[in-house]
């Protein structure tokens, strides 16, 4: 136990009436104190008790109240009123705090809703702006595509113009070449005229496409003057024979009719004319030959057996492939119902009834 001086540290018990009540207070030193001041006058000490507590020395003193109002009670009552007032104020503050909390919560909720609304409105505005931007970009892209199409069209036009310019340039060069040849096209003094009179014709040869004065020359396999295929040409190339393209198959005609002609006609021109002159009923193949015209040229006839044999022997040089049976103008002696034809497949002459159908090609001399 601690060493200390036993001083009358007073615990006051004050009576509110004629009886005695007790109260405690703590103090130290030579003077007894209540918690609000010294002991008031008119209090008679009854007894003093010493009480030891775990927190120090404590005395409990009993007094008798003689009818005076003790200052302690006035102070305590005032303090109690203050405490009650403070308590009420605290309660009211606590209540107000709860109200404020509720208001703050509502404000937070309103603020959150307002924030969401603003965010939504801003998002809507952003979306609207983006949509407008997209429409603008789409319009720009459409315009660019239109421009590209126009540029492609212009480029194609330029290419066509360039091609036309190249063709025009070629034409100019050809014209210049023809102009350069004009002196050479002057009628030569030693030219031999063909046909009646002494007139010459400036023409373009069908095989070489060169312009000349009636002096075209040909070789076997060339295109002839009347558009046929040259099957024979003289050494100088100025004369020869040309074979027509294949004609529709036909009968020979003149069945049972005697035809006065020279059977040994090598070229067939005389036989064709003799057959046509017979004026057979229903016409004849010879009439078709004499009416055949190409490149404003006629004089076509049915080839003889000898000519067809020669054509067969030179198919490679001519550049043809023939494997059918073709009519010839050669007649069969003392038989008015048949005529000679040539089988290109077997390379042999054959007799066919004039009413039979066979392939047809005509020949022309030039």
Per-residue pLDDT reduced to its tens digit, 11-38 = 333 333 333 333 444 333 333 434 333 4
Look at residue 4 in the predicted model and tell me its pLDDT: 39
3-state helix, strand, coil in the chain (%, to 5): 40, 20, 40
Look at residue 307 in the predicted model and tell me its pLDDT: 95
Question: Which residues have CB under 8 Å from 294's CB, separation 6+?
Answer: 226, 227, 228, 244, 300
**Alpha-carbon gap, residue 79 to 88, rounded angstroms:** 14
R_g of the chain, CA atoms, integer Å: 73
Let me know: does 201 contact 214? Beta carbons within 8 Å.
Answer: yes
Give 212-237 pLDDT, tens digit per residue.
Answer: 766 788 999 999 989 899 999 999 89
Is residue 41 predicted with pLDDT exceeding 60? no
**Alpha-carbon gap, residue 20 to 38, rounded angstroms:** 19
Let me know: does 345 contact 324? Beta carbons within 8 Å.
Answer: yes
Question: Which residues have CB under 8 Å from 307's CB, separation 6+?
Answer: 241, 266, 267, 268, 328, 363
Q: Which residue has the higher pLDDT, 194 or 142?
A: 142
Look at residue 57 in the predicted model and tell me its pLDDT: 43
- Bridge partners, 57 (sequence order): 52
H/E/C letters for each residue in 189-242? CCCCCCCCCCCCCEEECCCCCCEEECCCCCCCCCECCCCCEEEEECCCCCCEEE
Give 147-192 pLDDT, tens digit per residue.
Answer: 888 888 877 877 788 787 788 788 887 777 776 666 555 555 555 5
Is residue 209 predicted with pLDDT exceeding 60? yes
Is residue 105 predicted with pLDDT exceeding 80? yes
Is residue 325 predicted with pLDDT exceeding 60? yes
Among 73-82, 115-124, 303-312, 345-354, where is mean pLDDT lowest?
73-82
Q: Which residue has the higher pLDDT, 261 or 149?
A: 149
**Alpha-carbon gap, residue 359 to 357, rounded angstroms:** 7
Look at residue 83 in the predicted model and tell me its pLDDT: 67
Q: Which residue has the higher pLDDT, 250 or 184?
A: 250
């Amino acid at each position: 136990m601690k060493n200390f001086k036993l001083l009358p540290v007073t615990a006051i018990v004050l009576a509110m009436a004629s009886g005695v009540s007790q109260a405690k207070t703590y103090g130290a030193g030579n003077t007894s104190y209540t918690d609000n001041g010294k002991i008031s006058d008119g209090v008679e000490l009854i007894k003093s008790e010493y009480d030891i507590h775990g927190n120090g020395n404590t005395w409990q003193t009993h007094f008798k109240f003689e009818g005076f109002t003790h200052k302690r009670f006035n102070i305590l009552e005032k303090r109690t009123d203050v405490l009650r007032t403070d308590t009420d104020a605290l309660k009211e503050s606590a209540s107000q705090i709860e109200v404020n909390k509720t208001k703050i919560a509502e404000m937070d909720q309103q603020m959150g809703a307002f924030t969401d609304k603003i965010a939504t409105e801003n998002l809507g505005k952003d979306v609207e702006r983006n949509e407008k931007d997209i429409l603008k970009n789409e319009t720009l892209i459409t315009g660019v595509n239109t421009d590209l199409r126009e540029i492609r069209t212009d480029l194609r036009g330029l290419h066509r113009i360039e091609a036309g310019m190249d063709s025009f340039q070629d034409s100019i060069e050809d014209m210049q070449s023809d102009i350069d040849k004009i002196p050479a096209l002057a009628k030569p003094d030693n030219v031999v005229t063909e046909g009646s009179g002494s007139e010459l014709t400036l023409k373009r040869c069908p095989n070489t496409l060169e312009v000349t004065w009636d002096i075209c020359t040909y070789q076997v396999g060339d295109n002839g003057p009347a558009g046929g295929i040259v099957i024979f040409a003289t050494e100088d190339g100025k004369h020869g024979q040309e074979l027509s393209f294949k004609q529709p198959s036909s009968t020979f005609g003149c069945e049972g009719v005697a035809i006065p002609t020279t059977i040994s006609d090598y070229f067939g021109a005389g036989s064709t004319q003799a057959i046509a002159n017979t004026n057979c009923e229903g016409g004849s193949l010879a009439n078709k030959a004499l009416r055949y015209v190409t490149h404003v040229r006629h004089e076509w006839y049915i080839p003889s057996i000898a000519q067809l044999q020669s054509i067969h022997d030179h198919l490679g040089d001519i550049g043809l492939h023939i494997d059918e049976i073709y009519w010839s103008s050669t007649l069969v002696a003392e038989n008015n119902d048949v005529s000679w034809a040539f089988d290109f497949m077997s390379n042999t002459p054959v007799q066919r009834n004039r009413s039979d159908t066979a392939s047809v090609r005509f020949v022309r001399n030039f």
